[in-house]
Amino acid sequence: MIKALLALGDRYAARSSWKDFALLKFCLFSMGLIAGTMIPKEKKGPVIAVAAAIFTASYVPLMAKVFRVAAEKDE
């Protein structure tokens, strides 16, 4: 199972451009904001809302590509 996931990761990286990796960084950054933000309660809502929007906007295309790569036959 682990070998299959690592192979999928290698195939995904080989077919990715800088734009895909930029989306990945935005996705991870927004997850970090959601998980680790230590701001006053009155300001927490807007920050989480923006971070969740960035996460969703970056996560969907990333996962779509992962599933496309996973569905491809090995060359």
**Both tokens assigned to 9:** 């990761």
Q: How far apart are CA 75 and CA 62, in angstroms?
A: 22
User: Rounded to 5 degrees, what are φ and ψ at 73?
Assistant: -80, 145
**Both tokens assigned to 69:** 């790569």
At 74 the pLDDT is: 63
Stretch 59-66: mean pLDDT: 89
Q: How confident is the model at residue 75 (pLDDT cuts 50, 70, 90)?
A: low
Nearest to 30 by CA among 64, 61, 58: 58
Q: Residue 42: is its pLDDT beyond 70?
A: yes
CA atoms within 13 A on the CB side of 2: 0
